[in-house]
Chains A and B, each alone.
Chain A
Amino acid sequence: MAIHKTCDGMQRRDFLRVGAVGASSLSLGSFLKMSEAGQVNQAAKAKSAIFINLPGGPSHMDTFDLKPDAPDEYRGEFQPIQTKIPGIEISEHLPKLASSMDKFVILRGVSHTLAAHRLGSEYVNSGNRPLPSLEFPGYGAVVTRELGGPADLPPFVSIPRSNQRPGYLGVKYAPLHTNTTPQPGRAYSVRGISLGNGLTISDVEKRQSLLSSLDTTFAGFEKDNQLLDGLDRFSQQAYSMITSKRARDAFDVSLESPQFADQFGEGAFGQSCLLASRLVEAGVRFVTVSTGGWDTHRDNWDKLKTNLLPSFDEGLSALLNGLEQKGLLESTAVYVTGEFGRTPKINQERGGRDHYPRCMFMLMAGGGISGGRVLGESDDKATEPLNDGFTPDDVAASFYHNIGIDHTKEYHTNTGRPVMIVREGNVIEELFS
C-alpha cells in the first residue's frame, strides 16, 4: 500500500513523473482537474465504499459542531471534550470517536435549503438537488454501474434498508436490502441469498439441474433477445451466489473472531457496521448502513445521550478502527451524513431542535482522505457556514472522487437528457491533501 500521499491519493513518484513529462502548464491545479475528469482515476485508493445514513437529521450542535460560548437559548447542555487531535473538540457523548479522531474528517458548515425529510434525504443520498421530473440514482447505484462487483456477490447491499434508489439508472442497480440487522454472535442470513426453509446446497443443486433440463422452451433463441439472455445471465449469477460459500460467509457475522467483533458492541448499529466491514472485506462494492431516530423535535438531549450517541459512537469508531485493523481503511471510502442539521435555537417548548438544512455536519474517512482534521467552519451560533461552506453536491463529488469515479461523467436518461453524475458539485481538494 502506498505510503507517500501527496494530494489526491496519488503516489509522490507518479506526481513527479507527471510533472516532468507534462508541459509547464500542467500545474497541480490542472492535474487535479484532469484527475477529476477521470483520466487518472487509477490513482484512487478506495475500491469500495460504506455510506452511513442518519435519517431524521442529527443535531450538529450537540455532536460535531459544539458552540460552548453561544447564548443559552442556543448552546444546549452537552460539553465539548478534547479529541486525540489537539484543538479538535466534539461532544462529550462521543468519547470513542474522540479517540479515533485521527481516522476521519469532520466537515462543518455544510449547507443546503431543503428542510423536508424526503427531499433532504434524496439530496444527500444522490448528491443532486431533487427535481420533480427526474429521479437521481443514489451513490450505490452509480458506483455499481461504474465499477461492478464480483459475480458471486451482490454489488450493492443496504443494511437494513436504504433511501438510495436506482433512479434513472433502472432497477438492475437497486440495492439488496438485508431488511434485518445481525444479532451478536448469531448466524446471520439474508433474504434471497442465504438458504432458508431448511434447504441445503445439495437440494439447490438438484433443483438447478431439474430447472436446466426443463427450461428449454426458448432454447436457441436466447441470444437474439436481450430479455431472455439477461434472465439466463442473472440465473447463473443467482445460482453461484446462493451456492457460494464466500457469499454466505460474507453475511454471517458470527464467523468473525470474538476479539474483533467485540468492539462493535451488541447494538443493531454496531452489528450493522460489523456486517458492513465483513461485506467490504469479501469484495462487496458498496454498502449502506442506516440508523434512524435523529428527528429529535422533543427531548433532544435525553434521546441523544441515552440512546443515539452511545450506539453511534461505538459502532462508527469500531468500523473505522476495524477497517484499519483489517487493512481496509485505505481502500474503503466512508461517508456519514443525515439529511440536515437541527435548529441552533432551541425549541424551548418541546426541549428539542427542529429541521435545519442551512448548517450541518458530515463525516468523511478512508481511501485517499487523511483524517484528524476539521474542514469548514460555522458561525458562532452554528447558524450558517462561515465563508462559502460546502454543499452536499461538493461532498458527493469528493466521495465519488475518492473511489475513482469522475463525477462530471454524463449519463443519458431514458428521455435522452444528458445528466452529469453530480450536476453542481466540485471536489473539495483539501480532503485529499
Chain B
Amino acid sequence: MKRPTLTSNFRFFSILAFVGVMCTGLTQESGADDVIASLRDRFQSADVSEIPDFQKHVVPLMGRLGCNGRACHGSFQGQGGFRLSLFGYDFEMDHEGLSDRIDTDDPMESYALQKPTLIEPHEGGKRMSVGEWEHTVFLKWIEGGAKGVETPLKLNALRVTPSEIEFSASHQSQPLSVTAVWADGTEEDVTCLCRYTTNDETICQVDEDGIVSSGEVGDSHIVVAYDGAVVPIPVLRPVSEKTGDNFPELAATTMIDKHVVNKLSKMGIIPSETSTDAEFLRRVSLDMTGTLPTAKEVREFLADSSADKRERKIDELLESPAYAAWWTTQLCDWTGCSDQTLNNVNPANRQRGSEDWYEWIYKRVADNVPYDEIVENIVVANSRKPGESYRDYSERMSTYARDEDASYADQDGLIYFWGRNNFRATEDRAIGFAYTFMGTRIQCAQCHKHPFDVWTQKDFQEFEQFFTRVNFARNGGDRKEYNELIEELGLAELKGNEQRREMSKALKEGKTIPFPELTISQPRLTGAQRRKIAEAKKKGKKPQVPGKMARLLGEQTVDVDNIDDPRTALMDWLRQSPTQLFAKAFVNRVWASYFNRGIVEPTDDLSLGNPPSNGPLLDYLAQGFIDSGYDMKWVHREICLSDTYQRSWRPTETNIHDERNFSRAVPRRLPAEVAYDAITMATLNDDRAELFTSELDGRALTQTSPPRNARGGIDYALSVFGRSTRESNCDCDRSSEASLLQTLFVRNDDDTLDMLESRNGWLSSVSRQSQDESTNAAVKRRVENLERRMAQLQRQLKKAEKDKNKRLVSNLEKQLATVELQLLPLTEKQTANEEQPSEQDLESLIEEAYLRTVSRFPSEAEQTIAMTYLNDSEDLNAGIKDLMWALLNTKEFLVNH
C-alpha cells in the first residue's frame, strides 16, 4: 500500500483521527493497485462464487436501497412488522430481523428477496430486480448461509478521492471514488455502497453512485458515510474569476485575516472595505459589551485622531462591567441557568438559584479566570469541603444564605449545574454535557447511529456511564444527619412546600437548615463482588472492583467504578482530547456572536458531517485559545483586532451573497437583552445613560434567568425579542429572527412610548417648557407627589438603618436615587427659559438624536429632512419626539452592522 500524502489544506481531517479512523486528503493516483474491485463489478454475473459479508456489504447495500431509512424499515415502529436499525450499524438487530425473512434452503423463495423485487407486494415499491447485481449480492449471501457479524471488523480509514472538488460552472460533474481500508489490511472499492449527502443542495448535488454535480456559486460539502466512517469532501465553485493569482493583493494583518483571505482567494470573493470609525465603535460596543456607546463616547471617539484608537477602545471595553455582564449572560445560556429548572437548589429563596449562578459566573468573567478553570469548577464541583460533615456543610451554607452581603460567587464550585431538573437522568446528562462543553449534539445516537457523525448507540450508552454515580441529593447525602437536623427544627411532621416554607423561616431565625448537596455514590456491587473485595482486603491487597467501563465518546475506555469521581475523567478528557472540541466549541460560539454565524454553524453542531467553513481558522483559534491558557479575553481581542471583524457591511460585487466566509459584516438583529437596553439607553437622559453603562442597575443584561411566569414588564419585551429560554440543550433557545411582535413593540408598545416620554428621558431634559397652563399644573402635581414619595422613603430608610437591614437599606437608597433623578428635570423645568430655540439649537438636537440611536452624525440630507420636519411641527417637543421615535424604528437602530 502506498502511503497517503497529507495535504495541508485539509487540516480539519485531523478531527477524524480521534475516532480511530484515519482520514487524509489523498492524491488521486494513490492506492489503486491492491484495491478489491467494487461489489457492483464483482457481482455482475450470477455465477460468482464469493460470499458477501454482512457488515461490509449487506448492511451498506440495504442503506443504498433505502431499506433502513426513517420512512421505511428504519422507523422505530418498523414497517410491515420488519424493523432495521436506522442508518445501520446495529448488526445484531438487523441480522435477527432479516433472518426471519430468509430461506437458506431455497434462497430464491426468501421473503426478503421477494418483497423488494415486487414478487410479493411491497409498500416501499420496487427496490431492485432479479438478476441485477444488488439482487445477486443478497442471494449469494443467503446461499452462503446468511451469516451475521460476530465481532465487527474495524474500519481503519475511508479514502475518498478527489479530496476536494472545484467546479467552474454549473452542471459539471465529478465522480467520487471511495476505498475502505480495513484493519486486516484489505482495501475495497466501496463507492457503490456509501451513503452520500449534500450540505447545500443549491451548490452541489450527489447521487447514489457518488457522482457530484455543481449548482450555484459558493462552497459546501458532500458527506460520505460508510460503516462507522463519515468523511466530508469540500466542494466549491468560485464566485468570480479573481481566484489565485488573479486575487488582489490584500494586507492580512492578523493570523485570522490570513486564514480568511486564503479562503476568499480560493473563492474569488473580494472582501469589503474597512468600516468607518462610527460603524466600528457601535459594532464593537454592542458585540463586546451588549451596550450602545453614549453620545459623548461617539463624539470623543470620532474626534480622536490617534492611530491606535480602535485597539485602545477594545481594551477599554474588555475592562468594563458590561463586558462581564454580557458574556456572563451568554455563559448562562450555554450552561442552562434557569429558575424553571432550579427548584429549591437554594432553600433560602426560590429565585436565589439563578442569582447565585449568575453571580458565580459574573465574578469569574470579570476576573478573567481561565475558561477551563471555570468549567472545571462546574464539572467537578463538590458541595462539602474535604473532611466536612453534612451538618458542617449545612451550617456553612445556612450562614452564607442568611448573610445579606455574602455572595455565592465565593463558593469554589457551581453545583447547581448538576441540580437542574432537566439534568437528572444519565442520558439527559450525557446530552447536556456534550452540548454545553463540546458544542456537540449526541442525542441522535441515543436512539440510533448518528447519521452525520461516527457515534453509535453503543458509544452513547458507554458515555452515559460517566454520569451514573453523580447525585444531586436534595436531602443531602447523609440520611442520619439530615433526619437529625429536621428533628431539631421540629419539622419532621411537615411535608413538601409547607416544610420548605418553615425551613426558610427557621433559616432567617438563625437556625441551621439542611441543604441539597452533590454526592458521588459508591459503585453498585453484587453480593459476590462484595465478598471478593472483603477477601482482598483481608489479604491486605488493594481491592479492585470489577468495574463498569465507560468510554469517552469513541476514545479511550475508563473504569469508572475504580476512580473516586468519574467526573474528573471527563474534565481531563475535555482538556486533552485531540479533537479539541472543548476549545473549539467556545471559540466558535464567541466567533458566532461577533459575526453573523459560527465557523461551524449551527454552533452547537460540531460534527464530522458538519465541517467548519474555514477549518484552518477554527484550528488556529482553538489552538491559540489553549496556548493562551484558555484566556477568554485573548479570543475577544484576537477577533476584534482583525481586519476581518472590522470590515464594513457594505458589500462588494463579489461578496454580496457571502455569509459563510466572513468577507463583510452581515447585518444582525440585536440580541434580546441588548435590544431592550439599547432602546432604554437611547432614550435616557445623559446622566442616567452614563450610569446605565457604568453601574449595571436595571439592565436587561443582568437578568439572571427567564422567569417562571412571565408577567409583562421587562420580561414581555425580552421574550418577544427571543432571549434564550435555556431549556433544551440548543443554542437555538436564543432567537435572533425578526418578528411582528418585535416591530409592534418598538413602534407602538406603551413601554417604548413611555420610555420616550419618561421624566428620566432625554426628551424631558431637552424639552422646552410649554406655555400651557395645564402642563404647568401637571408638573407641579408631579413634583408634589415625588416630594411626598421622597419623604416616605426617607422615613423607611431611617427605620431600616436602625434595624440594620442591609438589603432593604440598599434597596431604599436606590429607590431614593431614582426619585431624586426624576425630580431633577422637573424642578429645572419649572424654571426653564421660554425662548424660542435657534436654528443652531435645533441642529445640535438632531445631531444628538442621531448619536444616541444610530451612533453617528446625521448626513446632510438627513439633517435637512429632520430640520424641515421640526420646522413644520407645531409643537417642537412633539417634533423631536417623532424624530426619536422614527430613529428607534429604523432598521439601522435595531440591527448591528
Q: Which one, A197, A210, A234, contacts B739 given CB within 8 A?
A: A234
Task: Determine the distance from Cα of A213 to Cα of B882 in the docked complex, in whole angstroms.
Answer: 13
Q: Are B656 and A224 in contact (CB under 8 A)?
A: yes
Q: Which one, A172, A217, A234, contacts B890 given CB within 8 A?
A: A217
Q: Which one, B721, B751, B892, contacts A218 given CB within 8 A?
A: B892
Task: Determine the distance from Cα of A177 to Cα of B717 in the docked complex, in whole angstroms.
Answer: 11
With a cutoff of 8 Å between Cβ atoms, the chain A residues found around residue B735 in the complex are 170-171
Q: Mark A207-225, 1 if CB is under 8 A from B, else 0.
A: 1001101110110010011
Query: Considering only CB atoms, which chain B residue lies closest to A232 in the complex?
Result: B891
In whole Å, how far is B667's beta carbon from the nearest beta carbon of chain A?
Answer: 6
Task: Determine the distance from Cα of A417 to Cα of B738 in the docked complex, in whole angstroms.
Answer: 23
Q: Which one, B425, B882, B892, contacts A215 given CB within 8 A?
A: B892
In whole Å, how far is B593's beta carbon from the nearest beta carbon of chain A?
Answer: 16
Q: Mark B720-734, 1 if CB is under 8 A from A, else 0.
A: 111001011110110
- For residue B817, CB closer than 8 A to chain A, the reply is no
- For residue A326, CB closer than 8 A to chain B, the reply is no
- For residue B431, CB closer than 8 A to chain A, the reply is yes
- For residue A135, CB closer than 8 A to chain B, the reply is yes
Q: Mark A401-421, 1 if CB is under 8 A from B, else 0.
A: 000000000000011011000
Task: Determine the distance from Cα of A204 to Cα of B747 in the docked complex, in whole angstroms.
Answer: 9
Q: Which one, B657, B737, B747, B887, contacts A224 given CB within 8 A?
A: B657
Task: Determine the distance from Cα of A144 to Cα of B721 in the docked complex, in whole angstroms.
Answer: 18
Task: Determine the distance from Cα of A218 to Cα of B894 in the docked complex, in whole angstroms.
Answer: 12
Q: Are A227 and B728 in contact (CB under 8 A)?
A: no
Q: Are B740 and A154 in contact (CB under 8 A)?
A: yes
With a cutoff of 8 Å between Cβ atoms, the chain A residues found around residue B422 in the complex are 132
Q: Mark B816-854, 1 if CB is under 8 A from A, else 0.
A: 000000000000000000000000000000000000001
Query: Considering only CB atoms, which chain B residue lies closest to A119 in the complex?
Result: B421
Q: Are B887 and A214 in contact (CB under 8 A)?
A: yes
Task: Determine the distance from Cα of A191 to Cα of B717 in the docked complex, in whole angstroms.
Answer: 11
Q: Are B889 and A215 in contact (CB under 8 A)?
A: yes
In whole Å, how far is B516's beta carbon from the nearest beta carbon of chain A?
Answer: 18
Task: Determine the distance from Cα of A167 to Cα of B730 in the docked complex, in whole angstroms.
Answer: 12
Pick the most buried of B422, B721, B890, B897: most chain A CB atoms within 10 A of its CB: B890
Q: Which one, A135, A174, A232, A238, contacts B748 given CB within 8 A?
A: A238
Q: Are A134 and B886 in contact (CB under 8 A)?
A: no
Task: Determine the distance from Cα of A20 to Cα of B182 in the docked complex, in whole angstroms.
Answer: 60
With a cutoff of 8 Å between Cβ atoms, the chain B residues found around residue A84 in the complex are none
- For residue A237, CB closer than 8 A to chain B, the reply is yes
Task: Determine the distance from Cα of A197 to Cα of B747 in the docked complex, in whole angstroms.
Answer: 12
With a cutoff of 8 Å between Cβ atoms, the chain B residues found around residue A161 in the complex are 710-711
- For residue B716, CB closer than 8 A to chain A, the reply is yes
Range, interface on chain A: 35 or more
- For residue A387, CB closer than 8 A to chain B, the reply is no
- For residue A206, CB closer than 8 A to chain B, the reply is yes
- For residue B443, CB closer than 8 A to chain A, the reply is yes
In whole Å, how far is A364's beta carbon from the nearest beta carbon of chain B?
Answer: 28
Query: Considering only CB atoms, which chain A residue lies closest to B423 in the complex?
Result: A132
Q: Which one, B70, B667, B862, contacts A418 given CB within 8 A?
A: B70
Within 8 A of A (CB), among B747-806: 747-751, 753-754, 757
With a cutoff of 8 Å between Cβ atoms, the chain A residues found around residue B722 in the complex are 170-171
- For residue A235, CB closer than 8 A to chain B, the reply is yes
Task: Determine the distance from Cα of A232 to Cα of B890 in the docked complex, in whole angstroms.
Answer: 10
Task: Determine the distance from Cα of A174 to Cα of B882 in the docked complex, in whole angstroms.
Answer: 29
- For residue B712, CB closer than 8 A to chain A, the reply is yes
- For residue A307, CB closer than 8 A to chain B, the reply is no
Q: Mark B549-570, 1 if CB is under 8 A from A, else 0.
A: 0000000000000000000000
Query: Considering only CB atoms, which chain A residue lies closest to B757 in the complex?
Result: A197
Q: Which one, B70, B716, B727, B886, contacts A210 given CB within 8 A?
A: B886
Q: Are B748 and A172 in contact (CB under 8 A)?
A: no
Given contacts A133-B443, A133-B728, A195-B748, contact A171 B739 (CB under 8 A): yes
Task: Determine the distance from Cα of A213 to Cα of B872 in the docked complex, in whole angstroms.
Answer: 15
Task: Determine the distance from Cα of A195 to Cα of B744 in the docked complex, in whole angstroms.
Answer: 11
Q: Are B727 and A172 in contact (CB under 8 A)?
A: no
In whole Å, how far is B313's beta carbon from the nearest beta carbon of chain A?
Answer: 22
Closest 4 CB pairs of A and B: A192-B744, A414-B732, A132-B422, A230-B738
Chain A to chain B contacts (Cβ below 8 Å), 30 pairs:
A132-B428, A132-B727, A133-B443, A161-B711, A170-B735, A171-B742, A172-B739, A174-B719, A177-B716, A192-B741, A192-B749, A197-B754, A207-B886, A214-B862, A214-B886, A214-B887, A215-B891, A215-B892, A217-B890, A218-B667, A218-B891, A221-B651, A221-B656, A224-B656, A230-B738, A231-B895, A234-B743, A238-B740, A238-B747, A418-B70
Q: Which residues of chain A have a CB within 8 Å of any CB of chain B?
A: 118, 132-135, 154, 161, 165, 168, 170-172, 174, 176-177, 179, 191-193, 195-197, 199, 203-204, 206-207, 210-211, 213-215, 217-218, 221, 224-225, 227-228, 230-232, 234-235, 237-239, 241-242, 414-415, 417-418
Additional A-B contacts beyond A207-B882, A214-B865, A414-B730 (19; CB < 8 A): A118-B340, A171-B719, A171-B722, A171-B735, A172-B738, A195-B748, A197-B753, A197-B754, A214-B886, A215-B889, A215-B892, A227-B667, A232-B891, A234-B742, A234-B743, A235-B747, A238-B744, A238-B747, A241-B744
